[in-house]
Amino acid sequence: MPGVTRIRRVSDWAQVATAGASAVRAFSGDDSLVLVTGSLLTELASGLTVIDWRSGSALWRYQGTEALGGFIAEPSGRSLAVALTPGDQIQASQRDVVIVHGDGSTIAIPGRYATTW
């Protein structure tokens, strides 16, 4: 299927799921969730989604004007920290940070930060 992102198990390269036409950006630390964007170009504010890839259910969606500026996974956990960069300032060093938990709840960290991830 052209235009479909396949998720494969590394040990035997078997396909275990698909993520539609989305671009996979990160897995949670426990490999249960996946962060996807609607475009291969991260500088576009194309929407972000955290999906439970086994069930295909979306736990969190971001459709704002900011683009993906980086991400990091909680080691062995289900939370992801997502850095958002203003779409018109993709090279900006200061980013908004949102923690997305495995249940889909979020915490927006007050202020802007220079992330190294």
Residue 1 has pLDDT above 50, yes or no: no
Please tell me the distance from the alpha carbon of residue 35 to that of residue 32, in angstroms, as a whole number: 10
**pLDDT at residue 19 is higher than 80:** no
Q: State residue 60's pLDDT score.
A: 97
The fold of 6-113 is: Thrombin, subunit H (2.40.10)
Task: Yes or no: say if 15 and 8 are a contact pair by the CB < 8 Å rule.
Answer: yes
Average pLDDT, stretch 88-115? 89
Verdict on whether the full-model pTM lies above 0.75: yes
13 pLDDT more than 70: yes
For the ranges 9-13, 15-19, 83-87, which has the lowest average pLDDT? Answer: 15-19
- Tens-place pLDDT, residues 40-99: 665 566 689 999 988 989 999 999 888 888 999 999 999 999 999 886 665 667 899 999
Listed in sequence order, the residues at least 6 apart from 107 whose beta carbon sits closer than 8 Å to its beta carbon are: 98, 99, 101
